[in-house]
Structure 1
Amino acid sequence: MHKIFQCCALNGGVFWLSLVAFNGAILPLLHFTTGLIVGQDTSHGLIWSWVSWLMSSIFGAFLGATCLSPEPDIADAAYRKSRGRPQLPNLSRLIADLLFSVLMQVIFLLQSMLVSKIPISGVGQIISLLHVCLLYSLYAFEYKWFNMGWEVHQRVRYLETNWPYFAGFGLPLAVLTHLPSSFLASGTVFAVLFPLFIISGKRS
């Protein structure tokens, strides 16, 4: 319980304050600095679009790694409490599994963004929401499946076979993160609630 509270407070507080500082101070300062260096002409807009995208991507990756760092401790503690000692793979298999899992999640996320552009009213949004539900479930259950010694293909096959359950499991978090109109609020909601979904996944 102490780790859950600590993780929720850290994720919510750090995520929110960091985004406020980044969007309210760092990005405007960088925009002003690039304007001084390049000049306020048409090329500045093009250069700034690339600079802002690059800085936002680096910042997002760093923030995600910082905020999600306590969650493996929570997942491992919950697994030991409910199932005993984790079955950890060797180092080479661990690295390969991690890289493939990250690549698969990125492709799945891009796919959810693409299907949201389907030009039929409501259809694209529903299919995209289904993708997000399954992706959030994969995030939450992956800690448990990893500790059970399951490889990526086993995890994906199990998710595909039982997709109605996992769609329902991820639906509350997907809806709650979709309701806020700003990325700041949506990211804060996800950061605060996700540790609780990890515990729910361990108990399922």
Structure 2
Amino acid sequence: MTIFAFSMSDTFDTLGTFIGTGRRTGIFSAEDEKALENGHGFSSKMDKALFADSIATSIGAICGTSNTTTYVESSAGIAAGGRTGLTSVVVAICFALSAFLAPVVSAVPSAATAGVLVIVGCMMAASLKEVKWDDIAEAIPAFFAAVFMAFSYSISYGIAGGFIMYCIVKTCKGKAKEVHPIIWTVAALFILDFVCMAIL
């Protein structure tokens, strides 16, 4: 169950981050998202990015490092104008240099990052304009996904809420057959995960 929980969390955290930040930068277009769904092999930029992320996560785990996955904090770099891998290289160099300034940096309270987090939150909220708010089958799951992300401090839990509510809304509208079996399966696994976390 632990492996499943980590796998689901990493998968959906990464997908959510890629789609959110990728749309913001224009790196991933709607065509890329469709190619991810319908294509085979590495037919889209998203496929390549997800493959790179999975390799990095696997190698990081083997080496015993902390999780080397995509983080939503990348939005801060995007907001500053970063669009290529060079942004990551510059950030890595700055981190290496900041190691010598650790005593000084540690004196800065964590609350000082609040401003940046508000900006990142605003950037993420900008994606909500893409939701078809007049279609209740899309609006309710999107709303729950956004709310769950905010209150659970987890992208994957937000996505879980969206999956579960999507299935519920479609069922209530009598359109349960329109829901893909994979979505039903993932929603059921998320519910099982939540139940296990509540019990254990």
Q: Select the structure that is richer in helix.
A: 1
Higher relative contact order (CA 8 A, sep 6+): 1
* TM above 0.5: no
TM normalised by structure 2 equals: 0.29
